[in-house]
Amino acid sequence: MSLKKEIVAKLTEILGEENVIVSEEALLAADAVNVRNYAKAFDYKPEHYPLAIAKVHDVQEVSSVLKYCNDNDIHVIPVAGGSSGEDQLLIPDDRTILIDGTPMNKVIKIDIENMMVTAQCGVSLAALEAQVNEAGYTLGHAPQSISLACMGGLVATRSIGQFSTMYGGIEDMVCGLEAVLPNGEIFRIKNAPRRAAGQDLRHLVIGHEGTLVFMTEVTVRLFTYYPDEMWKGGYVVENFKTGIKAIREIVAKGYKPAVARLYDKADVDHHYGSVKLNEGQAFMFFAAYGPKAITEAIGKGIDEVADQYGAGYIGTKAVDHWFENRNKTTDLLGSEEERRMFRETKVYTFPMEICATWSEIGTIYDDVIKTLPEKIPQIVMLGGHVSHCYSNGTNVYFVASIKVDNPDECIKIQYATLDALCQVILKYQDATIVHHHGIGRMRVNRIKEELGSSYPLLKAVKNTFDPKGIMNPGCLIPLD
Ligand SMILES: Cc1cc2nc3c(=O)[nH]c(=O)nc-3n(C[C@H](O)[C@H](O)[C@H](O)COP(=O)(O)OP(=O)(O)OC[C@H]3O[C@@H](n4cnc5c(N)ncnc54)[C@H](O)[C@@H]3O)c2cc1C
């Protein structure tokens, strides 16, 4: 019997025929919804297909499938919403299956007293947010991919949402979880409000990109929902660096707007066009969330600091425009309209997000904007924005458009652009090559330099959890 037939027969025995997907169309579509969309507009065929997609419904099924794969050296990639963008779901070889957790889509418990909600890994973030909103609560997690991503993927990638300056990233939200080791053993990390029983084991799982375990259940925090009490304000600043200084001051003074964003002209013109900026100017805006007394006080504080930095107040229209359009890119993904656009323009746009301290981020921004077009001649647009701010620094989310006359080269140029970005970032002491999309396979060649002398720790964790190396090989950790 061929390897494929053998695997399909065993998976069918565990899961039932209807839960073992082998149709070519489904296997072709399995490498994420937003990676290789450009190539897919030009008759793309992947180098490797998964042998099958195993649809799991409960923790026991996950355990049985993993144990079988571990015993037989079959590679496994967990999948949730498929929206990750760094080739986390790229099939690395011809002995890989996908374990699809989306049938595990039950909200297990909404615990209002303790402000927590427990959901299975396949629960969609949009559906969960809508459900808790109805009860008067929010998860505080609003990534642009809210309509695509599911709880398992959001935790596994260390995702972050648009209201992060107030709520933080997923690592600030996860209370506890349940997961399965490659050998089939099930473990649980409980939901205590804080703990000091050694290291915090949640962090071994958060951000592991499917390389250690299959997460089956996660509990996250709830916050009171204040949909009508938002304070918003938009400003034009003289230049990007002045905007960075103003935002730093706002955060350093202790104001916590949910949204704090700063766009350069290239990014505004490319994305929203809602503000007309002169060359060099930047668009800065904020939204404060919470009880009215707090949002008004934050708004007043922001206004004062903005004034000190010579920022011109332009009202809320452009901010409203951002709120209305902020997730629209998601609707276009993988559509016939997107494919037609690619075929007509031969232009592909993608994001690259990094993070650094306040003292380095302005220099890094200039360095990236200057260096990347020098190294990658196919870049026709490069801009960036600040969107997640901390007391010690911020991210910049760069956006690049490349013109690709030969469609087969698109992914090569995207990888080369990301690598050029990593090389710039690695020159700086407290900067990181990735802020929230994960390492995947696109930045994996730079993970050793990124982690430096702490890289062996990551490798040791991998070897301990997954000694046979079956979990998402080549993602996050290089194959050598
Ligand atoms: C238009 C668009 C906008 C985006 N905006 C944001 C944003 O604002 N913020 C942000 O952080 N990201 C953003 N992303 C990236 C992406 O949405 C996130 O990485 C998201 O967390 C992925 O979740 P998913 O459910 O789609 O996971 P998938 O893509 O299915 O998987 C992601 C990773 O998690 C692993 N995984 C999935 N399920 C499990 C499980 N049950 N157990 C163990 N591992 C698992 C997979 O193996 C893979 O490595 C965006 C993507 C797109 C396309």
Q: Looking at the CA of residue 159, tell me the nearest atom of ligand 1.
A: 11
Residue 290, sorted as left (phi over 0), alpha (psi -120 to 50) or beta, turns out to be left
Q: How many residues can be counted in the chain?
A: 480
Which protein residue's CA is at the shortest distance from atom 27 of ligand 1?
A: 153
Which protein residue's CA is at the shortest distance from atom 50 of ligand 1?
A: 145
1 pLDDT more than 90: no
Which protein residue's CA is at the shortest distance from atom 10 of ligand 1?
A: 159
429 pLDDT more than 90: yes
Q: For a substitution probing ligand 1, which of 36, 89, 157, 477 has the most ligand atoms within 8 Å of its CB?
A: 157
Beta strands 214-221 and 223-224: pairing type? unpaired
Q: Ligand 1: distance of its center to the CA of 340 in Å?
A: 26
DSSP classification of residue 253: T
Q: Point out the least confidently predicted range of 38-42, 211-215, 230-234, 356-360.
A: 38-42
Q: Ligand 1: distance of its center to the CA of 29 in Å?
A: 16
Which protein residue's CA is at the shortest distance from atom 14 of ligand 1?
A: 145
Q: For a substitution probing ligand 1, which of 38, 53, 58, 79 has the most ligand atoms within 8 Å of its CB?
A: 79
Share of the chain above pLDDT 90, in %: 89
401 pLDDT more than 70: yes
pLDDT of residue 101: 98
pLDDT of residue 366: 98
Instruction: Please tell me whether the overall predicted TM-score, pTM, comes out greater than 0.85 for this model.
Output: yes
Q: For a substitution probing ligand 1, which of 63, 96, 159 has the most ligand atoms within 8 Å of its CB?
A: 159
Q: Ligand 1: distance of its center to the CA of 100 in Å?
A: 13
Q: At 129, is the secondary structure helix, strand, or coil?
A: helix
Q: Ligand 1: distance of its center to the CA of 86 in Å?
A: 9
Which protein residue's CA is at the shortest distance from atom 52 of ligand 1?
A: 145
What sections of 93-150 are H helices per DSSP?
125-134
Q: Ligand 1: distance of its center to the CA of 154 in Å?
A: 5
pLDDT of residue 405: 86
pLDDT in tens, 151-166: 999 999 999 999 999 9
186 pLDDT more than 90: yes
Q: What is the mean pLDDT of residues 4-30?
A: 93
Mean pLDDT (the chain, rounded): 95
Distance (Å) of CA 306 to CA 236, 250, 386, 467: 10, 8, 16, 53
Which protein residue's CA is at the shortest distance from atom 37 of ligand 1?
A: 153
Q: Looking at the CA of residue 32, tell me the nearest atom of ligand 1.
A: 29
pLDDT of residue 229: 83
Q: Ligand 1: distance of its center to the CA of 101 in Å?
A: 13
pLDDT in tens, 263-305: 999 999 988 778 999 999 999 999 999 999 999 999 999 999 9
Q: At 122, is the secondary structure helix, strand, or coil?
A: coil
pLDDT in tens, 26-73: 888 777 667 788 888 888 888 899 999 999 999 999 999 999 999 999
328 pLDDT more than 80: yes
Q: What is the mean pLDDT of residues 239-248?
A: 98
Q: Ligand 1: distance of its center to the CA of 205 in Å?
A: 14
List the structure tokens of 154.
């959001």
CA angle 35, 41, 44 (to 5 degrees): 75
pLDDT of residue 32: 67
Q: Looking at the CA of residue 101, tell me the nearest atom of ligand 1.
A: 41
313 pLDDT more than 70: yes
Q: Looking at the CA of residue 80, tell me the nearest atom of ligand 1.
A: 30
pLDDT of residue 334: 85
Q: Looking at the CA of residue 205, tell me the nearest atom of ligand 1.
A: 43
Which protein residue's CA is at the shortest distance from atom 39 of ligand 1?
A: 152
Q: Ligand 1: distance of its center to the CA of 152 in Å?
A: 8
Exposure class string for 211-221: b at 16+ Cβ within 10 A, else e: bbbbbbbbbbb
Amino acid occupying residue 67 = K
Q: Looking at the CA of residue 169, tell me the nearest atom of ligand 1.
A: 11
455 pLDDT more than 70: yes
pLDDT of residue 74: 98
Which protein residue's CA is at the shortest distance from atom 15 of ligand 1?
A: 84
Q: Looking at the CA of residue 122, tell me the nearest atom of ligand 1.
A: 41
Q: Ligand 1: distance of its center to the CA of 351 in Å?
A: 14
381 pLDDT more than 80: yes
Within 6 Å (CB) of ligand 1, which residues are found?
32, 34, 77-85, 88-89, 101, 121, 143-145, 148-150, 152-154, 156-157, 159-160, 209-210, 214-215, 329-330, 333, 436-437, 472, 475
Phi, psi of 46 (to 5 degrees): -70, 160
DSSP string, 272-333: T--S---TT-EEEEEEE-SSHHHHHHHHHHHHHHHHHTTPEEEESHHHHHHHHHTTHHHHHT
d(CA 281, CA 265): 6
**Confidence tier at 408 by pLDDT (50, 70, 90):** confident
412 pLDDT more than 80: yes
